[in-house]
Amino acid sequence: MTLPSPHEALIYLMVVTSAADRDMTDIEMARIGNVLKTWPIFQDFDDWKLIRVAQDCQQQLQAENGLDSILADVRRTLPRRLHDTAYAAAFEVASADLEMPENGLLAARKAHVAGKHKLAANAANGAVSCAVPVLTEP
């Protein structure tokens, strides 16, 4: 199997994040589309490929060890200079519906794959965990 391109790897991370609650909502897909349209890293990516790349990722997720396989491919594909971008892209999608079950576990796995330090992973986990109460307080 061939490795995804760097663009595809970033999209895979966003799809995996969206699928963490087993439901990829229209809001999350719109957020991914918005990232593709507004982030400079995607300026040379053809938007029309998004659906195909997302479907490929979802198929891989359904395979045995699908998540681990996707994350391993992403790590092999993305250069170190894009690790922070990958992390930001995942959390951009996670914030779309302001909830992400088991966010600590998934974020820690993503952090590990991206080569993040444990302290950075804990900080990101805390930021996501705090987002819902802060944004929903009266």
Q: What are the b/e assignments for 12-24, b being 16+ CB within 10 Å?
A: bbbbbbbbbbeeb
Question: pLDDT band at 21, cuts 50/70/90?
Answer: low
Where do the structural domains in the chain lie, given as residue ranges? 6-136
Structure confidence by residue, pLDDT tens digits, 88-113: 888 888 887 665 445 444 554 555 55
∠ CA 72-74-80, rounded to 5°: 110
Question: pLDDT band at 49, cuts 50/70/90?
Answer: very high
